[in-house]
Amino acid sequence: MISRRTVVSILLASCLTLLMGLNFTPTAQALGGKLPAINEPAPEFTLPTNTGDGNVSLSDYRGKWVVLYFYPKDFTSGCTLEARRFQQDSPKYMERNVQILGVSADDVESHAEFCDSEGLKFPLLADTDGEVSKAYGSWMGFVSLRHTFIIDPKGTLREVFLGVRPAIHSTEVLARLDELQVKSS
């Protein structure tokens, strides 16, 4: 017998798949709250990082593209796979003048251990109170949802990814970056 939870999960996955196939772009709401508007300034933030540099602000990266990805928890299978893929593709991001920034509610110490264990070279930011995740519509009570945002060199939000699939997400982000960078040149 199939549980009610399984049926709901299957229906939700089917709806998301259908919407993704229709090139659906969210306009206002995500599961985690109100999304910032595309083609508007991305919400500014300052958060502590595991890199030993103290705090990192979005404005630190003016002049670069930013891939800002939110994820639920260090050391979990999907989050580890997603981070590994971003790290594996980091030379491709560097070629495109892109800074990857990961954000979760884990603290700086957890991020440092996670980066050490997985060989991650990009900053992970500690949003322990969820304020930045809330500003990006990516907060579910005590964890960040798996959402990604592409921000252009002027600080304008250019793309939102919901329903992220960790195994292929970095490839999808790179493809969209290529499209956006061609349009902006």
Mean pLDDT over 162-166 rounds to 93
What does the pLDDT look like over 99-119, one tens digit per residue?
999 999 999 999 999 999 999
For residue 9, the model assigns a pLDDT of 44
For residue 41, the model assigns a pLDDT of 98
Question: Rounded mean pLDDT of the chain?
Answer: 87
* SS3 of residue 17 by DSSP: helix
* Maximum mean pLDDT: which of 3-17, 29-43, 49-63: 49-63
| All domains in the chain, ordered by first residue | 27-184 (3.40.30.10)
pLDDT of 3 above 60: no
Residues annotated catalytic, as ranges: 79
Mean pLDDT over 127-148 rounds to 94
Per-residue pLDDT band for 166 (boundaries 50, 70, 90) equals very high
pLDDT of 45 above 70: yes
Mean pLDDT over 62-87 rounds to 97
Express as a percent the part of the chain with pLDDT over 70.
83
Tell me, yes or no, if the pTM score tops 0.85. Answer: no
CA gap 6, 156 in Å, rounded: 39
Mean pLDDT over 119-128 rounds to 96
pLDDT of 5 above 60: no
